[in-house]
Each structure stands twice: as structure tokens, then as C-alpha cells.
Amino acid sequence: MKRWLVAVLLVALAIAALAVASVWLRGGREAARHSAAERMQCLPAVIDGSPRSGMVWVAGGVLTMGDTFYPEEGPLREVSVDGFWMDRTEVTNAEFAEFVAATNYITVAERAVDTARHPGLPPDMQKPGAVVFVMPNDVNGTGDISQWWQYIPGANWRHPGGPDTSIEARENFPVTAIAYEDALAYARWKGRALPTEAQWEWAAREAKPGAAPDRTQPREANTWQGLFPVINEAEDGFVGIAPVGCFEPNALGLYDMIGNLWEWTADEYESAPAARVIKGGSWLCAPNYCLRYRPGARQPQEEDLATTHLGFRTVLAAPAP
């Protein structure tokens, strides 16, 4: 055998050995996430034709709601929740597309902006669009969120990053750029509702009362590893939004309650006008910023502002299985 051929074979063997070692070191599931350039599907879609297709049962109980990390989470209070059904994943682009095809629904981000409701908007924000995360090269502290959030005319659920982007081949990703009334319209079309904050939090706590507050960054969730917003280490396998169901579900069989996208709830936010409570944190939540990957965390969101770190899931009041 020629000497150069031996050398090539040795190099190839060394690369293969390194790859095997890397898979072994990371563990199967995590390595699988890293191996593909971008995963487009993690969970097979459930289509069984029943009214509760793709939903799981959440038994009722009494929950100690809230947390004590950020001021808006307290005080801790006991709340009783009846049993209900809940979508096991965030609503996907495919599911939302089905709704739009059946109803010709036009989302808030695609409609003319109500400038009477929002006087004094800068010219770009008077055009239909959504707020999009754009990773900055550098920031001057994290006080000014406009360093990484940009209002992009033409951004909407079909074009989540702006007019030049699309959801082609992203059927299994959660739908984004959804305003509150869009989420509500979808839920009503399905004969369902949006979860209350208490329902959402109870489900995120796996229907277990009195769970100890855990502030560690979860491993089984799409969050942000590294210094937000300038270093995205993506140790969880996802630089951006993940398809639904790529991480282990919670004990009830619910996926991505924590992380991936924030989720709308039906509750008005008590101290912000025309805002609702959103829950669960997103792929943008990091230990140094927005430590909100916890069931008790919450944030206000203006009802008519579509953003690309926010989606939703639905609930259904129906008898237990």
C-alpha cells in the first residue's frame, strides 16, 4: 500500500474515533441534537381525529402559585384548579396554517396598525410587522432591550424573521408572531380556550402541590446558555427556536412548558394596561438575564404586539379520561 494512502486512512480512522468519543461523552440524546445541522422535527404529529387530539389530562388540585425570585412573582398564594386537558406541545406552524386555511384569518401582525390606539409611533412601527430578536455584536448593559429587539415591518407568522424569511419546512416549529387575539381566535376555532395563569402554572408544576422552587437552568428545555445576548453557546443543541417536543416531556407528558417559546395565558396582567400574563420563559432566557425558566415566573405582554419569542397552547374543559 502506498505511504500516502496509509496516512489518509490513519487520519480518517482518527476522525471516526474522535466522533465516536464525542457521541459517547455527550450522551446519545444530546449528541443527536448536535449531529444534525438543524433538526426540523422531533415528535411525530398526533392526528387521531378526536376533539382531544394531541392533548393530555391535567388532574385538578391546590397549587401554591408564584415564586419569590422577581418581585412580580409574589406573594405566594394557594389557588385551586379543576382538572382540564392541555395541548402537549406549543401550537405549531402546521396547526396554525390549518386554522388560517379554514377561516382565512388574518393575524394582527398582518393588519394595518391602529395608530389611533398607539399615537406617536415611529414610521416603521406604523407598518404591519412584529418584534424580532436580532443578536447584537456588542451591548452596553442589558437595560435597553432595543439593542436586541427590532420591530421589522413585514414580519409575521409566515415570515417570522421579516419579509425575506419563511416557514417553509418548519411545519413542526411552534408558531410565533401571534398576538393575543390571534391565539384566542385559534383556540375558539378548536372549541378550546387559552389556559389561565393558574392552569398553566399547575400544569408546569406537573400537578404536584408544594414543589420546591428550583432556580437552576433546566437541562431539558430550550433556553440560552452563555452570556445573553452576545454569546449563545447553544449547549442544548438549539441556537434558535426548536421544533416542538425535542426535550423530555414533564411528568404529565407536556413538552416545552419551560423554554422554547413563552406562552400566552388568558389572564390580564394586573399592573399593565392591555397586557396579558405570559409564562414559561423562552430560548432567550439565560442565567444572566431573564431567569424566568421557572413555573412561577411571569411577564406582561402587550396584547397586540407580535413577537418572535412567544407562542401559545390551548386547554379544554372536558371530563377526565
Nearest alpha-carbon partner for 96 in 257, 315, 316, 314 = 314
How far is Cα 153 from Cα 32, in angstroms, rounded to an integer? 36
Quote the least distance from Cβ 311 to Ca ion, whole Å.
7
Q: Which stretch binds Ca ion (CB under 5 A): 16-24, 92-100, 175-183, 234-242?
A: 234-242
C-alpha cell at 34: 448536535
Quote the least distance from Cβ 9 to Ca ion, whole Å.
38
Q: Which stretch binds Ca ion (CB under 5 A): 37-45, 191-199, 211-219, 230-238?
A: 230-238
Handedness of CA 261, 133, 92, 241 (dihedral sign): negative
C-alpha cell at 219: 437541562
Q: Which stretch binds Ca ion (CB under 5 A): 118-126, 189-197, 261-269, 297-305?
A: 261-269
Cis peptide before 163 (omega within 30 of 0): no
Given the C-alpha cell 401554591, which residue does it identify? 64
Q: Out of 95, 197, 236, 303, name the contact with Ca ion by CB under 5 A.
A: 236
How far is Cα 217 from Cα 109, in angstroms, rounded to an integer? 32
Q: Binding string to Ca ion for residues 17 to 46, with x set by CB under 5 A, is what?
A: ------------------------------
Q: Is 222 in the site for Ca ion (CB under 5 A)?
A: yes
Residues 121-180 that bind Ca ion (CB under 5 A): none
Specify whether the CB–CB gap between 307 and 131 falls below 8 A: yes
Residues 263-282 that bind Ca ion (CB under 5 A): 280
Quote the least distance from Cβ 256 to Ca ion, whole Å.
4
Within 8 A by CB and 6+ apart from 229, the residues are 133, 135, 136, 139, 142, 147, 148, 284, 289
Q: Out of 201, 256, 267, 303, name the contact with Ca ion by CB under 5 A.
A: 256
Quote the least distance from Cβ 257 to Ca ion, whole Å.
6
In the chain, how many H helices and how many E strands?
Answer: 5, 11
Quote the least distance from Cβ 198 to Ca ion, whole Å.
17
Q: Is 260 in the site for Ca ion (CB under 5 A)?
A: yes
Count interface residues toward Ca ion (CB under 5 A).
8
Q: Which residues bind Ca ion (CB under 5 A)?
A: 222, 236, 238, 256, 260-261, 280, 283
